[in-house]
Structure 1
Amino acid sequence: MRGVLWSCLVLFLALAPLAARAEGRLVDFEVASKRFDGAKVGVSPVRKVTAYLPDGYGAGTRRYPVVYFLPNLFDGHRAIFERDGAKAALDRAIAAGTVPPLILVSADFSTPAGSSFYATSPVTGDWTGFLAKDLVDAVDGRFRTLPRAEARGLLGDRMGGYGAIRTAMVAPGVFGSVYALHPVGTGVGLQTMNSRPNFERLARARSLDDLGDDGFSRVFLGMYQAFLPNPDKPPFYVDLPASGHGETLATDPVLTAKLQNAFLLDRLLLVHAAELKRLRGLMFDWGRFDGNADHVVSNRAFAGLLEELGVPNEAEEYRGWWGERHWTQGGRVETRALPFFARTLAFD
């Protein structure tokens, strides 16, 4: 009898590590969309997507909420998995009970200039419609989801955080909760936007290659394609809100105001506060030591404006900086974002 008990104990100890290492799996697929037909800069209508499915998804009939992840500027849809360890972070959090099992979806929102800014434009296409309708429908049709707003979350990193809050404003009733990691574009900062790109270089350029490694000019070109589009003005199909560079900089106040009103979240909030009030949860954070103080100042002001307009929210300034990874063990996704979704999403 003692030998039988000993054998059972050895077998249990051998299998225990396997049970502790329960892992989800990644599924790659594509979503074809007509939202980009006619886009002037040649955006592909077939967008690549990666979905994280939790351990146990393959067995049973359980349905799961979905968190849609929106990447930062120049990040691909698989960057959080291949570079940042998102799969391991989700496995750890679910195994520890930090969050119940859920599906996470990351899609490609890039354009030739770098980012779609999660907006709708005749130059780059209807990215709001792609996210809120086409991608959601494709995920609900492919996986066992809970196909309702209270079971859908938006999680975005930096420019993706901007996109998460923006989408909740302009496409209400699709997503139930939003967490933005260090969002940008929440409002005017300390330095004027027009002082960053090189407008002389933008005016001379005939292709993206002509901008070389001028990162600011490429980023702001993408912004202008989203918010100052001009389909009749090749090669970039934008109206530039300024000319010159440095001491010769001359700003067009009409175009600058148009850009700010279309892009900045504090301007949109004045129109869309009611949509954010419908959310089950809204949370965002920012690192105090961001080298670009604009992000710190504007996020503080945006948090205050949310309070002024009566929009329930959680806002946190932490001891961090621009560029740090949030999917690390003990990082902000595990300690803040996933517990937030555990509280605010509807689970089966």
Structure 2
Amino acid sequence: MRHLFLLLAVLLPYAPLLAQVPAGRVVVAYLDSKLLARNPGGENPRRRVSVYLPPGYDAAPQRRYPVLYYLHGYAWSDSLVFNQDGLPALLDQAIAAGQIRPLIVVTPDEKTLFGGSMYTNSATNGPWSDFTALELVSFIDGQFRTLARPGSRGLAGHSMGGNGTLRLAMLYPGRWAAAYALSPAFVGPSAEYMANPVGLPAALRAPGRAALAGNFPGQITVALARAFSPELKNKPFGAALPGSLGPDSLARRDAVLPRWIAATPTYLLPTHPAGLRQLRALAFDWGGQDEFRHIPLTCRTFSTLLSTFGIRHTAQEYEGTHGSRIMGRDGRIYQHLLPFFNQHLDFEF
């Protein structure tokens, strides 16, 4: 008996972890996009969409749920978010612990031929902003039991997805109730990605996509160009790169970079403040030790600009790198993002 009491004393603090957590269900759907069909850049218009349905979804067929749209980062995908990052298990734990009430979570696959759509409308890649904010939302509302209204719709994402979160919140006012960006990339201009000393020369010398295989800086340079400075006649990538290998390199850079700068959330804000003002809440955060050094600097600048425009928001720098402290019980999603949406979304009719 004494040993039994000792065993119970040891296990008691771990009882919440040992208890079986009710599990949600993951559905992998496919959206044959009319908006992306026949895009000149050769992107596949059939897009995979991973959908998390909370515990109890099947047992209560009359119940409807709010939806959180979670946008993945560059070179990542919906499948990696759900399987490698373990988002469904984290959502199960968060719902069981009361971090957030049951909801539907949707992640579209926006990994393109060169790693990412940037969640941007492009004459080369296709209208990815419209696809995400309009076509995808309509598809989800038609396929699942959602609370199909802006007050029950949240938007979040990491890195490239954090950029997309800020971008879509601005460009589609009244579409979302709240937005939360994790380590958002490309928020403002920076030489780190606009004049990358490795990526730009590699992209300029590459005769095609195959030549950039395994070259992350080169691939992301092309991805940014196809999103922000598309030029269908420019071979081999259908985009204008910020420079050239010839004597006109400076002139090319001066012609392309203003287009990249104008596409950043920092420069979109002065002409699109209404979208952010209409949000119930806006938050973003970043690790102070982010390997992509432009992120802390541009996030701080963006927060200052938001305050200048009188837009209420929460911006926080924490001890962490680009990918650390995002997932897991101690991560930003569990500890901050999900409680944020629990507070700001409508969960009832």
Whether TM-score is above 0.5 comes out as yes
1:41-100 Cα distance to aligned partner (Å, 9 max, x none):
211111001111111011221110000110001111111221111111101111111111
Match runs of 1:5-44 below 5 Å: 20-44=20-44
Displacement, 1:202?
Answer: 2.2
TM-score by length of 1: 0.90
Match of 1:208 in 2: 209
Which structure 2 segments of 5+ residues have no match? 1-15
Distance 1:294 1:204 in 2: 25
Match of 1:108 in 2: 109
Match of 1:309 in 2: 309
Distance 2:315 2:197 in 1: 28
8 A Cα contact 2:200 2:221, kept in partner: no
Q: Which amino acid aligns with 1:347?
A: F
Q: Which amino acid aligns with 2:161?
A: G
Displacement, 1:21?
Answer: 2.2
Match of 2:337 in 1: 337
3-state SS of the aligned residue for 2:35?
A: helix
3-state SS of the aligned residue for 2:272?
A: helix
Match of 1:159 in 2: 160
3-state SS of the aligned residue for 1:299?
A: helix
1:175-224 Cα distance to aligned partner (Å, 9 max, x none):
11111011011113464721345444323322211123221111010110
The answer to whether residue 228 in structure 2 is matched with residue 227 in structure 1 is: yes
3-state SS of the aligned residue for 2:300?
A: helix
Match of 1:217 in 2: 218
1:262-290 Cα distance to aligned partner (Å, 9 max, x none):
2x110001111121100111100000111
3-state SS of the aligned residue for 1:29?
A: strand
Match of 1:56 in 2: 56
1:298-324 Cα distance to aligned partner (Å, 9 max, x none):
111111110010111111100111222
Match of 2:295 in 1: 295
Match runs of 1:101-140 below 5 Å: 101-140=102-141
Q: Which amino acid aligns with 2:131?
A: F
8 A Cα contact 1:189 1:297, kept in partner: no
Match of 2:184 in 1: 183
Q: Which amino acid aligns with 1:257?
A: P
Distance 1:17 1:273 in 2: 44
Distance change >3 Å, CA 209–CA 156, structure 1 → 2: same
8 A Cα contact 2:194 2:257, kept in partner: no
Q: Which amino acid aligns with 1:108?
A: D
Count of residue pairs the alignment pairs up: 330
8 A Cα contact 1:77 1:107, kept in partner: yes
Which structure 1 segments of 5+ residues have no match? 1-15
8 A Cα contact 1:162 1:180, kept in partner: yes
TM-score by length of 2: 0.90
Match of 1:95 in 2: 96
